[in-house]
Structure 1
């Protein structure tokens, strides 16, 4: 078998065989096939696409390229949730405890943030003492005991994907639906869950900016998951404005805890309940989505979900006093109001610009080596559909700099006002299953 023949075959729009895909993944991961040949194949895939069968085989080959996590020692039907990334997306902190509160085990591998999107691990580390490194035995014990654990991804999980992504990044082949879907699902499948709920974002703050592209990605990932033996469902949710009212690290933990305590009702709460309900239906705890939603909503109100969160934090070394008294979480030196210079209804908030503004404050990373400042962030005072008068604060910047000019400028760029009344955006666009 020769790599040049595989490139030529895909360039002609023909379907690759299982053996051909496995050959190129194994050869590239092992260093036997050079970058320039794989680059040519990636570009051929970018233009000619892949069938659902090809994409499933590609995903499985990437899973097989490294370690897989054996969760068989965890009791019960293990369900995972994955978000394609967004601004203010802290659903894991609500979904995990909610699902755990009805006895469904959540064994989650998460990552760190880069660019305008925040990372789950960075946010959790805003809690003093919380550690994400643990042995496999401790991870499994925590899930069996508390039904919830969150850890960092292992270094050798789907190494083929890591190599391919680095190459895609420098060859303008990142935004290929089969390659994106295979990349995401290879890591999810290697993480060992029985079922997967995907939160596929769409809009200005998402990787996929249009509903059409988001739906294509969602369908591809659901197809992969089901073809490879994992019951999978995708929720396409809106990211045309930040999720919730807080963007940052400690501030996002604070907002999630307030929802777990039953103190807030907003889009973040709604999306968390929707994702949790689908997860528990896949785990066969509830027969219908409606029944699951109703029971989970009760657990937000009766304290069971909050209790599950406290147990999770304690089990991973976190200072639970910061959860019981949110004023003890890290706080910035300054609170800077960004004032509206015009009047009208908020028609648009560019979520990506808000994320970049938070990154300028130090809440995110421009490069993977940047240090995170857990105390800084942004509180949104106005969201789409709200009326704004001249002089009203659009947001509050939590900053360690008295005059964070770059962040102020990005917030001002993010908001667009209209004289006409604007409806609040639809949160859940579609369910793909």
Structure 2
């Protein structure tokens, strides 16, 4: 079997067998297939797509490349949630401790940033000394002990996806439905949770720009979950403007901490309560979604979720004092306000442009191996529909490099449109 032949077959839009997909995944994982050939295959998939069965095969090949976590020895229902990625999406940082505080067990494997969207692991590693690389035994033990862990898939857990995930980030193949579905579901299944909630983002700041593609992704992941006998539910939520106000790793952690006290942005809290209610229902804790929302709101206001987040940070070696003193998070050297050029109502805040502006500052990766600056980012001062006057602040840009600050400011200005 030749790898070049498999590329040609996919380039021509032909379906691949499990043996063919396993051959290329195994070969790339072991270093027998170079980056440039796998890049060609990823691009062929990007343009030709995959049938549901092929995507299932790809998921199986990812899983077969490494170990799977077995959580059956831990009592109770284990749940996991995944977002397909958006700008300012720090929901996991609020939702995971909230659900754990509500009595369910949260065992979550997360990813690094892809393209202009930030990754949960990038956000968590902005907390001084926070350890995301847990061994399989460490992950299981922490889940058993405190009912909450958010970690990176270890070196032996879906290593094929880990390697291909990094390559997708730098080959413009991030927003491919089969590649997203196989990547997400292989991690979710390997993580050992009983119930999986999938938040599929749609809109300008998401990989899925329209509802048709978002629905296709949701159905594909649901199909995979059911084939692996996991209780799976999908929601499609909007991402046309950044979620909350903060975009950038430490800035988003700070905002998440506020939300854990019931003092966060309204849109972030509403989404967290919605997703949380579905998780409680999936986990058998409530029968109705409205009932779940009331329970979770009470937990937020009580401070129990904030305490659980602090407990998780401590368990994973991080400085848990950041929860009570967010100034301990990394701080940028420079900040500059972006002001409105005209009066009117904000009719557009292009989330993708905001994300790309944060990328310019160093909040994400332009190429494989780029170092992420945890301190930089953007904090919005206005949201869609807000009335603004000329020279009103639209956002504050946080930077560690004046040249990047200027580039980001020019880019960010193009994200806004007003109407009278």
TM-score (norm 1): 0.86
Question: 2:407 matched to 1:406?
Answer: yes
* 1:72 corresponds to: 72
Give the aligned partner of residue 370 of structure 2: 370
Which structure 2 residues correspond to residues 140-151 of structure 1 after superposition, within 5 A?
140-151=140-151
Distance 1:171 1:219 in 2: 25
Aligned equivalents of 1:303, 1:169: Cα separation in 2: 37
SS at match of 1:107: strand
Q: Secondary structure of the residue that 2:87 maps to in structure 1?
A: coil
Partner deviation per Cα, 1:171-216 (whole Å, 9 max, x = no partner): 8766543333223212222222222111111111111111211111
User: Which sections of structure 1, spanning at least 5 residues, go unmatched?
Assistant: 420-433
Using the alignment, how far apart are the partners of 2:334 and 2:35 within structure 1?
48
Distance 2:353 2:99 in 1: 32
1:189-228 to structure 2, matched below 5 A, reads: 189-228=189-228
Distance 1:12 1:363 in 2: 38
Q: Distance in 2 between matches of 1:110 and 1:351?
A: 22
Cα deviation, residue 355, structure 1: 1.5
Shift of 1:290: 2.0
| Deviation digits for residues 38-77 of structure 1 (CA, Å, limit 9, x no counterpart) | 8887677666654433432332232112222222333322
Assess if the C-alpha contact under 8 Å between 1:114 and 1:368 holds in 2. Answer: no
Q: 1:363–1:73: structure 2 CA closer, same or farther, 3 Å change rule? A: same
Q: CA deviation at 1:415?
A: 0.7
TM-score by length of 2: 0.88
- Establish whether residue 126 from structure 1 lines up as the match of residue 122 from structure 2: no
1:236-291, CA deviations, whole angstroms, 9 ceiling, x for partnerless residues?
11111111001112211111111111123411111111112212211112222222
Structure 2: unaligned runs, 5 residues or longer: none
- The match for 1:424 is none
Aligned to 1:181: 181
Distance 1:35 1:313 in 2: 36
In structure 2, the partner of 1:106 is 106
SS in 2 for 1:398: strand
Q: Is the CA contact 2:161–2:183 (under 8 Å) kept in the aligned structure 1?
A: yes
**Structure 2 residue aligned with 1:291:** 291
User: Are the aligned partners of 1:336 and 1:402 in contact in 2 as well (CA < 8 Å)?
Assistant: no
Asked if the contact 1:56–1:228 (Cα under 8 Å) also holds between the matched residues in 2, the reply is no
Say how many residue pairs are matched: 419
Per the TM alignment, residue 31 of structure 1 is displaced from its structure 2 partner at its CA by: 6.9
Greater CA deviation, 391-400 or 52-61? 52-61
Does the 8 A contact of 1:277 with 1:292 survive in 2? yes
SS in structure 2 at match of 1:233 = strand
Is this contact kept in 1: 2:135–2:154, CA < 8 A? no
Matches within 5 A, 1:3-402: 18=18, 21-22=21-22, 25-26=25-26, 49-162=49-162, 175-401=175-401
Superposed CA offset, 1:291-311 (max 9, x none): 222211111112221121121
> For the Cα contact (< 8 Å) 2:340–2:388, is it kept in 1?
yes
Which secondary structure state, in structure 1, belongs to the residue aligned with residue 63 of structure 2? helix
Deviation at 1:230, TM superposition (A): 1.0
Compare 46-55 and 336-345 and name the one that shifted more.
Answer: 46-55
Q: Is the 8 A contact 1:259 1:269 kept in 2?
A: yes
Structure of higher CA gyration radius: 1
Tell me: CA distance 1:133–1:23, structure 2 relative to 1, closer, same or farther (3 Å). closer
Q: 346-355 or 121-130: which moved more?
A: 121-130
SS at match of 2:66: coil
The answer to whether the 8 A contact 2:133-2:154 is kept is no
Report the 3-state secondary structure (helix = DSSP H, G, I; strand = E; otherwise coil) of the residue aligned with 1:257. Answer: helix
Contact kept, 8 Å, 1:114 with 1:367, in 2: the verdict is: no
SS at match of 2:131: coil
Deviation of the 1:394 alpha carbon: 0.5
Provide the rounded CA distance (Å) in 2 between the counterparts of 1:72 and 1:374. 36
Taking a change above 3 Å as real, the CA distance of residues 24 and 361 of structure 1, as seen in their structure-2 partners, is closer
